[in-house]
Chains A and B, each alone.
Chain A
Amino acid sequence: MVVSMNPPRLELRRASKIYQTNGQKLEALRDVSLTLEPGTITALVGRSGCGKTTLLNLAGAMDFPTSGEVLIDGRATSSLSEEELTALRRSRIGFVFQFFQLLPALTALENVELPLLLAGAPKSREVARRRLEWVELAEKADSFPYQLSGGQMQRVAIARALAQTPEILIADEPTGNLDNASGDQVLALLRDAAQRFGATVLMATHSAEAAAIAQTRVQMRDGRVAAIERA
């Protein structure tokens, strides 16, 4: 980990998350501390239900810890207003999901353009086209999701996540639903995202191949960090 005077881009400080369902407490995350720097890829590994997705949601400012803190550039996400959170998600965080989550009514290009439009970014169409070129799907710009293969859909989803050149890219099982060849393409893109765009990539995965591209592998068990391996 790089030592610097600036606060780390993304930091979890003793973050815990407790869910209350039907009067029962469920500790999804216990006392997790992590620090992530720009241009790095961190993989969360562990069995289903070990808290990976909860951690991703906290890191993506979609949810807040019950205790402890999640800091982005030194600011606790739980201290931000709804407007600040929306602004944060718009411009600084990108998400990639296992099931792609493309909007079926929009074309590939429009899907990529959507975050730019929501943020009111200028030249949105041009930027979106460049991102599609980056994922090598320029010729599929006008195709609707149902006309694309799984791998292509996930590449469009990555293009969309990177549309605003976010500083943090959260990916939940990005290759979980893909064949090997497509999975490799997606992983190459994630690596590129970290190297070329300087994004901090945080990815949850079951796949050894995916975990292998990460500089840091965080092994999770029962909501806790069991081990941290660095490449």
Chain B
Amino acid sequence: MRRLQLFRTLILRPLRRDLLRTVLTILAVALGVGVVIAIDLAGDAATGSFRSSLETLVGKTDLEIVANGGVDERWMAELTALPLNARFAPLVETQGVIERMGAVTVYGVDFVAHGRGQVGKPVPQLDTAAIVSSALAKRVGVTEGGHVTLTLNDASRTFQVAGITDARDAEFVLLDIATAQRALNAYGRLDRIDVFVSPHDDFARVEREIRSALPASYRIEKPGTRSEENQRMLRAFRWNLRVLSYISLVVGAFLIYNTISVSVVRRRTEIGVLRALGAGRRWILWLFLGESLLFGLAGSLAGIALGRLMAEGAVGLIAQTVNSLYVSSRPAAVDLGAPAVVTAILAGIAVAFLSALAPAREAMQVAPVEAMGRGAHEHHARMHVRRDLAWAAFVAIVAYAVSRVRPVDGKPIAGYATTLLAIVAMALAAPALVTGLAAATRKASRAMFGPEGLLAVRGLAATLARTSVVVGALATAIAMMASVGIMVGSFRETVIVWLDAQLRADLYVGPAARAGAGAHPALSADVPALVSSIPGVEAVDIFHAIEFDYKGQRASLGAGDSEVVRRYGRLRFLPGEDREAILRSLVGQDRVIVSEPFANKHGVRAGDVVTLPLGAHLVKVTVAGVYYDYSSERGWVIFDNSTLLKYLPDLPATNLAIYARKDADASQVRHAIEESLAKYRVVVAPNRSLRQNAVVVFDRTFAITYALEGVAIVVAMLGAANSLLAMVLDRRREFGLLRYLGAAPAQVRRMILLEAGFLGLAANLLGLALGFVLSLVLIYVINKQSFGWTIQFHPPLALLASASALVWVTTVLAGIYPARTAARLNPIEVIHEE
């Protein structure tokens, strides 16, 4: 009870007195925690719902039969003939597009067998009927008997709504399976056969029987496998986003450290008195840890509310990335559950506790004799600049060694550890930099800014313990900004150079119904021939693409005309690989080229032989080469058309790359193509617009990254303002004295602003240096281990310069309020307050 009272007088009362600083610290923690929560919640919402929405309707399936390139319908007869107590349901699944509503999942199911079950009555006119889920019907605004127009592949079709089926919040359209196959030009092909096993039968026996009846290349999966695959595919992406979100929390940790340090330094005499009156060391330790826990708890609670709000904004950004890079999905609602709340509170408290440990221990060491001291200002924090610098070098060496460690379970743990160690090394080097910079600029700052310059530089160097923490916090935020900026800038430049090499054709044709990554809508069968016959067209690369499964991971499978690519394209292969020879070797051979992310993900190299399940075949193919590709993280395996169509003869074309004759007018050729394809819903895109589009998608993908950086910078700014304010309060005697010595209020103000400027300069120097190092870690360790891309190093210098200038200006602006406070201090009060 007595202790609680002391805690109130010694800790709570000063916090109330310095309300602005208290609020700034809590806000910094709240932002850090809020970002972590927001990314977690938004990530869940954007990627959470991959379970087949059909499940809500037909009940839980027991097994799913799937195959790369589709399941041949004829197996249905074989399976139903098996002496098993099981039901088999064929299924076609695709993405359709509803005008102005976006992509929607379309299922083809057997209306004859099951249609009645969906809407309680037989479905008439199977070839034009659609059943719409209630949530979608509500969003589109359609009722039973109304019409819905769907773009499937390259054609729009209007269906009559034969019924609305209640499937909670799932959105989909059901068509009769034959109608769906017709619409998709996929006669005789299924995407899946769902198996419902009677509870009276032996499950293992059923599975065994089905297995032995089907080709070895077919997969029999437990339901949820696809959802798990999707989650696994997104794991690296979400991991990296999560780690990025923790940076703000690290910046927040610096600030708590700083606040508690100030609190200890200012109360040394009080601590001394308490010790002299018999307070134990441990008790003093907990007094200050209690203060930090208070910050952690208050910050966490505010952070939860803030995070819930920010998640709403983040979910759209994350969903865009998932959609354009990984898999088509519709974000679900943001759901703040108990685990997120607990994580937030634990994260906030843990960060507060850990960052306060060092200053609280310092408080514990205060000897009772310090009660006789004349106040906190006489205390000089004992800094060990040289020793810390040696430690910094040691930690940096360890960081380098750690960066060489291979990924653990596909996660670049070593990369993250390297990042954290690099930040620690930077924090340890900060005092040396501040002292060095102060010494180096002493003459110059005095010459340029007079006594204010001298006092500013000296003042900062004298309060090194505190200054270097602020510099460390700001530098961490700047380093993050710089490193991510360099990484994204390099990536962008790499992609632009790659696009230049990859996109050599003059025009590209694809179906209008492209919904997102992993969706490969087909072109109608006669489109390639129509295009090839147009005058002015020199060559057409007919491309076929499907989603496929390789060793339990999602990838894309494609086939093109390697002769056209060889002659007109500029596909780039890994160093040492001969493009001409590789492309020539594909024709008619069981040989493929694979994209770099595929090669890295599966540890495949040129010359390796891999087995690919294709339709009913297991095909052994030789990897002829590995090419650079930045279009998808899931990876590509590419055949020549002659080979793939041998195994999957009914595979429809999905895209055309058209090379116009040199003497032809490209816009006329485009016009002619558009005219001849007028009845199809296709997109004819000229080279330039495709490239621009790709860059737009790229920029959208990294929007969330920039948003995260912004928050870290804001947290650091709060820190800068907070620390400058602390410094003013702490050195008020000095400012009062300056007034006695004849300093004008404007001179005091100028001095604080100069200090802010110096602080910003030191933080910028350190932050940019660290940022440069971290960008190397991001590009060559974390990115490579997570995504498998080779990124060429291209630092966006103009962007970096303007961003760091902006940060510097903001740091100076953060000094305005503290400067005004200092200038307004009553000199008599502060000089005589002892």
A residues contacting B by CB (< 8 A) are 53, 57, 60, 62-63, 82-83, 86-87, 89-91, 95, 97, 99, 101, 103-106, 110, 114-115, 117-120, 146, 160, 164
Contacts of A104 in B (CB 8 A): 377-378, 380, 462
How many cross-chain pairs have Cβ atoms below 8 Å apart between A and B? 70
Contact sample, A vs B, 26 pairs, CB 8 Å cutoff = A53-B832, A57-B828, A62-B740, A62-B827, A62-B828, A89-B739, A89-B740, A89-B741, A97-B831, A101-B737, A103-B734, A103-B737, A104-B380, A104-B462, A105-B458, A106-B458, A114-B451, A114-B455, A115-B741, A115-B742, A117-B451, A118-B741, A118-B742, A120-B450, A160-B741, A164-B742
Which residues of B in the span 786-834 have a Cβ within 8 Å of any Cβ on A?
827-828, 831-832, 834
Q: How far is it, in angstroms, between the C-alpha of A146 and the C-alpha of B378 when the chains are bound?
A: 9
Contacts of B454 in A (CB 8 A): 106, 110, 117
Question: When the two chains form their complex, are residues A101 and B462 in contact, meaning their CB atoms are under 8 A apart?
Answer: no
Among A60, A110, A117: residue with most chain B CB under 10 A? A117
CB distance from B732 to the nearest CB of A (A): 12
Question: Which of B62-70, B338-346, B743-751 is found at the contact surface with chain A?
Answer: B743-751
Q: How far is it, in angstroms, between the C-alpha of A120 and the C-alpha of B827 when the chains are bound?
A: 21
Question: When the two chains form their complex, are residues B740 and A119 in contact, meaning their CB atoms are under 8 A apart?
Answer: no
Q: B357 on the interface (CB 8 Å rule)? A: no
Among A57, A87, A89, A103: residue with most chain B CB under 10 A? A103
Contacts of A164 in B (CB 8 A): 742
Question: When the two chains form their complex, are residues B462 and A105 in contact, meaning their CB atoms are under 8 A apart?
Answer: yes
Which residues of B in the span 718-759 have a Cβ within 8 Å of any Cβ on A?
733-734, 737-745, 747
Q: B459 on the interface (CB 8 Å rule)? A: yes
Among residues of A, the one whose C-beta sits closest to the C-beta of B453 is A117
Q: B374 on the interface (CB 8 Å rule)? A: yes
Q: B762 on the interface (CB 8 Å rule)? A: no
Q: How far is it, in angstroms, between the C-alpha of A148 and the C-alpha of B139 when the chains are bound?
A: 81
Q: B461 on the interface (CB 8 Å rule)? A: yes
Among residues of B, the one whose C-beta sits closest to the C-beta of A120 is B450
Q: How far is it, in angstroms, between the C-alpha of A86 and the C-alpha of B741 when the chains are bound?
A: 9
Among residues of B, the one whose C-beta sits closest to the C-beta of A163 is B741
Question: When the two chains form their complex, are residues A118 and B459 in contact, meaning their CB atoms are under 8 A apart?
Answer: no
CB distance from B752 to the nearest CB of A (A): 14
Q: How far is it, in angstroms, between the C-alpha of A110 and the C-alpha of B450 when the chains are bound?
A: 12
Say whether, besides A82-B745, A89-B740, A117-B450, A63 and B455 are in contact (CB < 8 Å): no
CB distance from A65 to the nearest CB of B (A): 14
Q: How far is it, in angstroms, between the C-alpha of A76 and the C-alpha of B831 when the chains are bound?
A: 24
CB distance from B459 to the nearest CB of A (A): 5
Question: When the two chains form their complex, are residues A91 and B742 in contact, meaning their CB atoms are under 8 A apart?
Answer: yes
Q: How far is it, in angstroms, between the C-alpha of A90 and the C-alpha of B733 when the chains are bound?
A: 18
Question: When the two chains form their complex, are residues A95 and B741 in contact, meaning their CB atoms are under 8 A apart?
Answer: yes
Contacts of B740 in A (CB 8 A): 60, 62, 89, 95, 101
Contacts of B742 in A (CB 8 A): 86-87, 89-91, 115, 118-119, 164
Among residues of A, the one whose C-beta sits closest to the C-beta of B438 is A105
Among residues of A, the one whose C-beta sits closest to the C-beta of B738 is A118
Question: When the two chains form their complex, are residues A118 and B737 in contact, meaning their CB atoms are under 8 A apart?
Answer: no
CB distance from B241 to the nearest CB of A (A): 44
Question: When the two chains form their complex, are residues A118 and B743 in contact, meaning their CB atoms are under 8 A apart?
Answer: yes
Contacts of A119 in B (CB 8 A): 742
Which residues of B in the span 117-143 have a Cβ within 8 Å of any Cβ on A?
none
Question: When the two chains form their complex, are residues A103 and B450 in contact, meaning their CB atoms are under 8 A apart?
Answer: no
Question: When the two chains form their complex, are residues B451 and A63 in contact, meaning their CB atoms are under 8 A apart?
Answer: no
Q: How far is it, in angstroms, between the C-alpha of A53 and the C-alpha of B747 when the chains are bound?
A: 26
Interface of A is mostly: helix
Contacts of B450 in A (CB 8 A): 117, 120
Interface of B is mostly: helix
Contacts of B744 in A (CB 8 A): 82-83, 86
B residues contacting A by CB (< 8 A) are 374, 377-378, 380, 450-451, 454-455, 458-459, 461-463, 733-734, 737-745, 747, 827-828, 831-832, 834
Closest 3 CB pairs of A and B: A90-B742, A105-B462, A117-B451
Among residues of B, the one whose C-beta sits closest to the C-beta of A54 is B828
Additional A-B contact list (7), CB under 8 Å, known A103-B734, A114-B451: A62-B739, A62-B740, A62-B827, A62-B828, A86-B743, A104-B380, A105-B463
Question: When the two chains form their complex, are residues A101 and B743 in contact, meaning their CB atoms are under 8 A apart?
Answer: no
Question: When the two chains form their complex, are residues A118 and B834 in contact, meaning their CB atoms are under 8 A apart?
Answer: no
Q: How far is it, in angstroms, between the C-alpha of A74 and the C-alpha of B548 when the chains are bound?
A: 98
Q: How far is it, in angstroms, between the C-alpha of A117 and the C-alpha of B739 when the chains are bound?
A: 13
Which of B380, B733, B745 makes the CB contact (< 8 A) with A146?
Answer: B380
Among residues of A, the one whose C-beta sits closest to the C-beta of B827 is A62
Say whether, besides A62-B827, A118-B738, A105 and B459 are in contact (CB < 8 Å): yes
CB distance from A106 to the nearest CB of B (A): 6
Among residues of B, the one whose C-beta sits closest to the C-beta of A57 is B828
CB distance from B748 to the nearest CB of A (A): 10
Q: How far is it, in angstroms, between the C-alpha of A103 and the C-alpha of B451 when the chains are bound?
A: 13
Question: When the two chains form their complex, are residues A103 and B380 in contact, meaning their CB atoms are under 8 A apart?
Answer: no
Q: How far is it, in angstroms, between the C-alpha of A119 and the C-alpha of B742 when the chains are bound?
A: 7
Among residues of A, the one whose C-beta sits closest to the C-beta of B459 is A105
CB distance from A61 to the nearest CB of B (A): 10
Contacts of A97 in B (CB 8 A): 831
Q: How far is it, in angstroms, between the C-alpha of A57 and the C-alpha of B832 when the chains are bound?
A: 11
Q: How far is it, in angstroms, between the C-alpha of A105 and the C-alpha of B737 when the chains are bound?
A: 13
Which of A57, A62, A103 makes the CB contact (< 8 A) with B455?
Answer: A103
Among residues of B, the one whose C-beta sits closest to the C-beta of A62 is B828
Among residues of A, the one whose C-beta sits closest to the C-beta of B740 is A95
Q: How far is it, in angstroms, between the C-alpha of A62 and the C-alpha of B741 when the chains are bound?
A: 11
CB distance from A20 to the nearest CB of B (A): 14
CB distance from A59 to the nearest CB of B (A): 13
Question: When the two chains form their complex, are residues A118 and B380 in contact, meaning their CB atoms are under 8 A apart?
Answer: no
Contacts of A53 in B (CB 8 A): 832
CB distance from B801 to the nearest CB of A (A): 32
Q: How far is it, in angstroms, between the C-alpha of A81 and the C-alpha of B257 when the chains are bound?
A: 43
CB distance from B561 to the nearest CB of A (A): 75
CB distance from B233 to the nearest CB of A (A): 57
Contacts of B459 in A (CB 8 A): 105
Q: How far is it, in angstroms, between the C-alpha of A101 and the C-alpha of B378 when the chains are bound?
A: 11
Among A62, A63, A90, A97: residue with most chain B CB under 10 A? A62
Among residues of A, the one whose C-beta sits closest to the C-beta of B741 is A115
Say whether, besides A105-B458, A105-B461, A63 and B733 are in contact (CB < 8 Å): no
Contacts of A110 in B (CB 8 A): 454, 458
Q: How far is it, in angstroms, between the C-alpha of A156 and the C-alpha of B454 when the chains are bound?
A: 19
Contacts of A99 in B (CB 8 A): 374, 834
CB distance from A153 to the nearest CB of B (A): 12
Question: When the two chains form their complex, are residues A63 and B828 in contact, meaning their CB atoms are under 8 A apart?
Answer: yes
Q: How far is it, in angstroms, between the C-alpha of A86 and the C-alpha of B739 when the chains are bound?
A: 8
Contacts of A86 in B (CB 8 A): 742-744
Contacts of A82 in B (CB 8 A): 744-745
Contacts of B461 in A (CB 8 A): 105
Contacts of B834 in A (CB 8 A): 99
Q: How far is it, in angstroms, between the C-alpha of A78 and the C-alpha of B157 when the chains are bound?
A: 90
Q: How far is it, in angstroms, between the C-alpha of A101 and the C-alpha of B827 when the chains are bound?
A: 12
CB distance from A226 to the nearest CB of B (A): 23
CB distance from B35 to the nearest CB of A (A): 37
CB distance from B146 to the nearest CB of A (A): 77
Contacts of A57 in B (CB 8 A): 828
Q: How far is it, in angstroms, between the C-alpha of A122 and the C-alpha of B463 when the chains are bound?
A: 30
Contacts of A101 in B (CB 8 A): 733, 737, 740, 831
Among residues of A, the one whose C-beta sits closest to the C-beta of B462 is A105
Among residues of A, the one whose C-beta sits closest to the C-beta of B832 is A53
Q: How far is it, in angstroms, between the C-alpha of A97 and the C-alpha of B827 when the chains are bound?
A: 13
Q: How far is it, in angstroms, between the C-alpha of A82 and the C-alpha of B827 when the chains are bound?
A: 14
Q: How far is it, in angstroms, between the C-alpha of A223 and the C-alpha of B834 when the chains are bound?
A: 21
Among B463, B742, B744, B834: residue with most chain A CB under 10 A? B742
CB distance from A81 to the nearest CB of B (A): 11
Contacts of B745 in A (CB 8 A): 82
CB distance from B831 to the nearest CB of A (A): 7
Among residues of B, the one whose C-beta sits closest to the C-beta of A93 is B742
Q: How far is it, in angstroms, between the C-alpha of A120 and the C-alpha of B446 when the chains are bound?
A: 12
CB distance from B457 to the nearest CB of A (A): 9
Say whether, besides A62-B828, A91-B742, A118 and B374 are in contact (CB < 8 Å): no
Among residues of A, the one whose C-beta sits closest to the C-beta of B743 is A118
